[in-house]
Structure formats: structure tokens, C-alpha cells
Amino acid sequence: MNGFFPILKRELLAYFRSPVAYVFIIIFLVANAGCTFLLGNFYDSQQASLEIFFLFHPWLYLFLVPAVGMRLWAEERRSGTAELLLTFPVRLTSTVFAKFFAGWLFIGISLLLTFPMIWTVHFLGSPDSGPIITGYLGSFLMAGSYLAIASLTSSMTKNQVISFILSVVICLVLVLSGWGVLSETLNTVFPVWFSDLVGQFSFTTHFDAIRRGVVDIRDLIYFISIIVIVLMLNVVVLESHKAS
């Protein structure tokens, strides 16, 4: 992992040197509050719980995380710095993971800034801390999966807009594959086992259990596997560019 931490530090600091980062954080916090209190009717639920808060995260991440990830490699390739970066005496795997972890940490910081929500539910009642902790864990892991996909699509094109659209479409498919409506539609065409298999690859299927406080090792393995496998595909794509 030679060179991992210097690249990680450089990339993470680059986020906070740009006003775009602060715009993202503000939009993220406002969108979270709006979805929870307006769309989710938080106070009407009369429950001291963050279940409604986490309910919207798959949809918020669908647009916000690709916006963070689309620049990871597309901007490097467009400006020509990718070629220079790939010539450094650092393993490509280290570079890919360092850039990813910098973006993931940035999203994690944004997620931590939603801590007033925790104060709110504790002010309203005596919430169970378990689902809150697991909800944040699941949300962070799911955000990492979105970002890994965005990093992959970013490495495939020099155009950030194309990268954004590709990652949104892929993540949307992975979100909707766990919805009952899609399962019922698939059941009319394919055997039940096939729709169940498709549902097992859904973000929502694995995230819903975690946000309710049920931590199944299979759900954790799912998100970690998505991140690792997609990032390794990212390395393969960049290797092909390097060879050509």
C-alpha cells in the first residue's frame, strides 16, 4: 500500500479546498432534513426513532453520491493528469483505493454532520440506540457501494456528465431490484426463485434490515463485496487505459 496515505490525504484535502464540497454538504443536510420532516412527516409518526430519516437515504444517495464520484477519474482523464498519476511509482490498486476512501470519508463526514437528528429524537423521547448506530453503519456502507460504482463509471469516460448518468442508472437498478412492485412484475415473467435472486442483489434489501437494527453478517459482506469487486474492476479499466 505504498503511497496510499499521501494520495488519500491529498484527495481528501482537495475536497475541502473547493467550494463545491461545502455546497454538497449543505445540499446533503438540507435534503436529509426536508425528506425527514416534510416528506416523511417525522413529527406525525410520534416515534422517537430515526427509521424515517434512514428510509430516504437510498434515494438521496442515488443523486448525491454519483455527483461526488463522477470527478474521481473523469476529471483526471480530461485534464491529462491521469496519465501522469499512473506513471508514479505507486501501485494502481493503492491509487484507486486511496481516491475512493478519500471520497468515502468525505461522505462519511457529511453523514456525521446530521448528528442534530440524534439530538432531536433524544429530546422527543427515549430512542433505542441500537437501530440508530446500525442505521448510520448501514448508510455509510451503502454510500460506499454507490461511490465505488461512481468511481468505476468515472474511470470509463472523460465526461463527468456521462459518468454521473451511468452511475445513477446502475444504482437505480440495484435500488429498485429489491422493491415488491418489481418482484411482482418479474414473477409474472420468470420463476419465483429468479425474482428472489434478483432481490438479493438490491441495496434496499440489505439496507432495510440494518436500519431496523438487525445486523446480519451477510448484509455487511454484501456491501463490502460490492465495494471491493467494483474497485477491482476499476483497476482493470484503468490498466486497460494504461496499456493503450
pLDDT tens, residue by residue, 175-234: 887 666 666 666 666 666 566 666 677 888 889 889 888 888 999 999 999 999 999 999
Q: How many residues does the chain have?
A: 244
pLDDT value of residue 73: 82
123 is written with which cell numbers?
Answer: 429530546
Average pLDDT over residues 51-64: 92
Dihedral sign of CA atoms 174, 178, 183, 185 in order: negative
Integer CA distances (angstroms), 117 to 19, 107, 139, 176, 205, in order: 25, 17, 14, 27, 24
Other residues' Cβ atoms within 10 Å of the Cβ of residue 53? 25
What contacts 76, CB < 8 A, 6 or more positions away? Answer: 82, 85
Q: pTM of the prediction?
A: 0.89
Task: Find where cell 426513532 sits.
Answer: 49
With 60 as the cut, is the pLDDT of residue 77 above it? yes
Helix (H/G/I), strand (E/B), else coil: 217: helix
Between 234 and 77, residue with greater pLDDT: 234
- Highest average pLDDT, of 37-51, 144-158, 183-197, comes from 144-158
> Quick one: the chain helix, strand, coil %, rounded to 5?
80, 0, 20
Between 147 and 196, residue with greater pLDDT: 147
With 80 as the cut, is the pLDDT of residue 98 above it? yes
Phi/psi for 157 (5° steps) reads -150, 155
Average pLDDT over residues 105-115: 95
